[in-house]
Structure 1
Amino acid sequence: MLPPLRRVHLLLLAIGAAVVLSCWQVGLFDVQRLRDGAQGLGDLLGELFPLRAQRWPHWLLPLWDTLCISVASTALAVALSLPMAFLANRRTAPHPLVRHLARGVLNLLRALPDLLLALLLVAAVGFGQLPGTMALAVHSVGMVGKFMAEAMEQADPDPAEALFSTGADRLQVFVHVLLPQCLPAMLDLVFYRWEFNMRSAIVLGAVGAGGIGTELISALRLLDYGQVTALLLVVFLAVALVDQISSQCRKNFTR
């Protein structure tokens, strides 16, 4: 049996070896390629200016669509995560097998890339905001539901046990004890997830899920880099605004 300090040293050595091997595998040690890439990047940056924002009125509706996708997907994810959290935490799950199955579903949803989900849903329901909203909602349930379940398991057990002792059922404990206890942390997560979904909604526009991402990918396909720069600036301002709103909401709700 190795002493604890020796095990830590071996673990750090293994992690370091894995990092070095991964960096080598992806080409981070290819100095010539990095040098050529830096030169190509410099040439590309030169083509990004001047900005071409003549089409800005045509960007307002796609930008609004992206915002709506982020809000709707987050709201749908929260609505689906609450019953999943009820089934996935050990205090309210009706049976250990149900809890393990619910955890497995959350793990599966979290493992599926939102871009892949969007592609599948675009093929199923067609282009537009609906597949993007559904893809982000399904992917978000995996993270939001897992966090809610774990927060409820880590909550103070005394109020729940006291309510159980009065004859309350699991649903009453969930609604009247666990949700109020975990509400500040859950609201914090919801607003962070909204920020994430706003950024992801832009990417999903590249696969036909609607929004400002569609405009961005169209400009890239036309090699209109001046318009790409203008769109990136618009996207940056929109994401910064969402981040600011989210930050203010978190401060007000979690005081």
Structure 2
Amino acid sequence: MNVFVKKNNRWLLLLGFLIFVIWSLYDTNFSLRDLAFGLPNIWYFISQMFPPDIESFPKLLKPALVTIEMAVLGTSFAIILSIPLGFIAARNMSKNKVTYILSRGIIAFTRSVPDIVFALIFISAVGLGPFPGTLALAVHSIGMLGKLYAEAVEEIDPLPLEAITSVGANSIQRIVYGVFPQVLPSFIATTLYRLDINIRSSVVLGLVGAGGIGFELLTSMRLFKYQEILSILVVIFIMVMGIEWISSRIRSKII
């Protein structure tokens, strides 16, 4: 009977999901017909980008570097705050219910607010430029890093921790020798993944005045410099692929 009920529940869930998808197509005005009629406009927009503006490449190097710096700094600041937050938010580590709930609340809040909103808040406080963008990336990254760090800590094997505790290890020694060796590979993989996300996010934040190559993209779009837009997109592509290659090399060496 239980098996029959479970099968029915699965079919009901699938049916509910399909109904929601169909309703979403209607509610979002999804139309392949409109897309087909708009294809000539898309083609015209793309055709205006060619050939790319080769002369603009040298001036894009500095904004590209600033974009990478924003992502690296934002991720680094987030790591510093997320590691202790992750331990406090882990059920098997947190001994105080109040701090556990508070840490989980901070993680949920920073994850739920879009990074672009944080960028606008910090821009209103410190002005335009890469600094507010870096702060926005750092705060928003805490939500993801803190959550995944906490989950990694919760999934550790308790036996090494119990063995260390049995010989009189204090709280710091338990974390350093019993927890960190188990969670370090997961922490590194999560951090590199977040850095990859922050590279892309830093480009988007530039569109609201948070500096970097995204700001150059916004300027070119406002001035209808289509060929320069393509040059910027090429630089962004090279930058993202380069970071992905470096991240994969680090993963293969360390993890």
TM-score tier by shorter-chain length is: over 0.9
Shift of 1:89: 0.6
In the TM superposition, residue 51 of structure 1 has moved relative to its aligned partner by 1.1
State the shift of 1:199 in Å.
Answer: 0.9
Pick which of 154-163 and 90-99 moved more.
90-99
Gaps spanning 5+ residues in structure 1: where? none
Cα distance in 2 for partners of 1:192, 1:218 equals: 29
Checking the alignment, whether the CA contact within 8 Å between 1:69 and 1:129 is kept in structure 2 is yes
Cα displacement (A) at 1:73: 0.8
Question: Which residue number in structure 1 is paired with residue 92 of structure 2?
Answer: 91
Q: What does residue range 50-61 of structure 1 map to in structure 2 within 5 Å?
A: 50-61=51-62
Match of 2:46 in 1: 45
1:202/1:211 contact within 8 Å kept: yes
Aligned to 1:13: 15
Aligned length: 253
In structure 1, the partner of 2:63 is 62
Structure 2 residue 28 is the aligned partner of structure 1 residue 26: yes
The match for 2:238 is 237
* Contact 1:202 1:213 survives alignment (8 Å): yes
Query: For residue 174 of structure 2, what is the amino acid of its counterpart?
Result: V
State whether residues 219 and 225 of structure 1, in contact with CA within 8 Å, keep that contact through their aligned partners in structure 2.
Answer: yes
Q: Note if contact 1:92-1:173 (Cα within 8 Å) is conserved in structure 2.
A: no
Match of 1:124 in 2: 125
Structure 2 partner of 1:153: 154
Instruction: State the 1:164 CA deviation.
Output: 2.8
Distance in 1 between the 2:244 and 2:148 partners? 21
Corresponding letter in the other structure for 2:171: R
- Aligned to 1:48, the other structure's residue is in SS state coil
Contact in 1 for aligned 2:60/2:213 (Cα 8 Å): yes
Instruction: Give, as a single letter, the amino acid of the residue that structure 2 aligns with 1:213.
Output: G
Question: Partners of 2:193 and 2:121 in 1: how far apart?
Answer: 26
- Counterparts in 2 of 1:192 and 1:106: CA distance versus 1, 3 Å: same
Question: Is the Cα contact below 8 Å between 1:90 and 1:96 reproduced in 2?
Answer: no
Shift of 1:163: 2.5
Q: For residue 144 of structure 1, what is the aligned residue in structure 2? A: 145
- Give, in angstroms, the shift of residue 210 of structure 1: 0.8
Q: Does 1:204 align with 2:205?
A: yes
- 1:76 aligns with 77
CA distance in 2, matches of 1:240, 1:161: 43
Task: Give the distance between the partners of 2:140 and 2:176, measured in 1 at CA.
Answer: 25
Q: Which amino acid aligns with 1:23?
A: L
Distance between the aligned counterparts of 1:55 and 1:32, measured in 2?
38
CA apart distance, 1:206: 0.9
Q: Does structure 2 conserve the Cα–Cα contact (< 8 Å) formed by 1:119 and 1:207?
A: yes
Report what 1:165 is aligned to: 166
Partner of residue 102, structure 1: 103
- Whichever residue aligns with residue 185 of structure 2, its letter is P
Q: For 1:253 and 1:139, how far apart are their aligned partners in 2?
A: 26
Q: Does the CA-based 8 Å contact 2:56-2:231 persist in structure 1?
A: no
Give the aligned partner of residue 133 of structure 1: 134
Asked whether the 8 Å contact 2:133–2:210 carries over to 1, the reply is: yes
Structure 2 runs not aligned, ≥5 long? none
Work out the CA distance in 1 between the residues paired with 2:101 and 2:20: 31
Q: Distance in 2 between matches of 1:237 and 1:203?
A: 16
Aligned residue identity for 2:9: R
Alpha-carbon deviations, 1:122-146, whole Å to 9, x = none? 1111111111111111111111111
Q: Secondary structure at the match of 1:55?
A: helix
Q: For the residues of structure 1 that align with 2:138 and 2:66, how far apart are their CA atoms?
A: 15
Read off the aligned partner of 2:18 and give its amino acid letter: G
Whether contact under 8 Å (1:92, 1:174) holds in the other structure is no
What is the CA distance between 1:35 and its match in structure 2? 1.8
Summarize the alignment of residues 168-187 of structure 1 with structure 2, pairs less than 5 Å apart.
168-187=169-188
TM-score when scaled to structure 2? 0.94
Does the 8 Å contact 1:86/1:174 carry over to 2?
no
Name the aligned partner's letter for residue 16 of structure 1.
L
Identity %: 37
Deviations 1:220-242 (A, max 9, x none): 01111111011101110111111
